[in-house]
Structure 1
Amino acid sequence: MQSDDIAWGVIGKGQCAYKAPSKTQMFCRNEFNLTGLCNRASCPLANSQYATVREENGVSYLYLKVVERSHFPKRLWEKMKLLKNMTAAVKLIGENLLHWSKFVRQKQD
């Protein structure tokens, strides 16, 4: 999306509170970042459609960010509880990310 490109243009070249530089590369401290690296593909701020898996109090959740919720910042992320069975959890993630980018799908599996 064009707005995603504009957001990354500002974040990638300018200031971002989540950037953490090192001698060799730039890291990201955003809790929703997939890889921990500061780059266009794994930046949750510069992608309208984004997903990540997080653990809270021993329970895993799939967080989905969709463009349709962008006008409701408080409800921007949809939180889905994953089953403790790894096979069932991976199947649920695959079903929910069926038409998403290959980068996001591969990082979740």
Structure 2
Amino acid sequence: MQNDEAIWHDIRYIHCCYMAKIETGIFCRNPYNVTGLCSRSSCPLANSRYATIRDHDGVFYLNYEKALELIDKHLLYWPEMLQHMNTCSQNKGEDNVNA
């Protein structure tokens, strides 16, 4: 589990590659920061409660639960892929022994 306060301290006072300091203030170039302001409440890196709605090919992604659902859906075939890869590598090893 992330500690928002520790992350904010590190990126605000040590280093943040998204931070832009100019004469009028300190801004954020992170594409998930919708305000553009460098502040703890609008920092997508240091605020675990921060959410951004994103459009990806006409599909809008809103929340953490939906993201987990999509990840689970795409990982359904992962065990089959691992089994196939193991079978292929075992067959490759047998070919080398028989050569």
TM-score > 0.5 by shorter chain? yes
The structural deviation recorded for 1:41 is 0.3
How many pairs align?
69
Query: What is the correspondence of 1:36-47 to structure 2 with a 5 Å cutoff?
Result: 36-47=36-47
Find the counterpart in structure 2 of residue 10 from structure 1: 10
Larger radius of gyration: 2
Secondary structure at the counterpart of residue 52 of structure 1: coil
Bigger proportion of residues as strand: 1
Query: Does structure 1 residue 35 correspond to structure 2 residue 24?
Result: no
User: TM-score, normalised on structure 1?
Assistant: 0.51
Any gaps of 5 or more consecutive residues in structure 2?
70-99
Identity across matched positions, percent: 43
Give the root-mean-square deviation of aligned CA atoms.
2.9
Q: Normalising to structure 2: TM-score of the pair? A: 0.56
* Deviation of the 1:26 alpha carbon: 1.0
Q: CA deviation at 1:36?
A: 0.9
Segments of 4+ moved more than 4 angstroms: none
CA contact (8 A) 1:53 1:60 kept: no
2:67 to 57, 73, 78: 78
Secondary structure at the aligned position of 2:51 is classed as strand
Gaps of 5+ in 1: 67-76, 81-109
Q: Which residue of 1 aligns with 2:61?
A: 62
Cα distance, 1:65–1:20 mapped onto 2, change above 3 Å: farther
Taking the aligned partners of 1:19 and 1:35, their CA distance within structure 2 comes to 13
Q: Which has the higher contact order (CA 8 A, sep 6+)?
A: 1
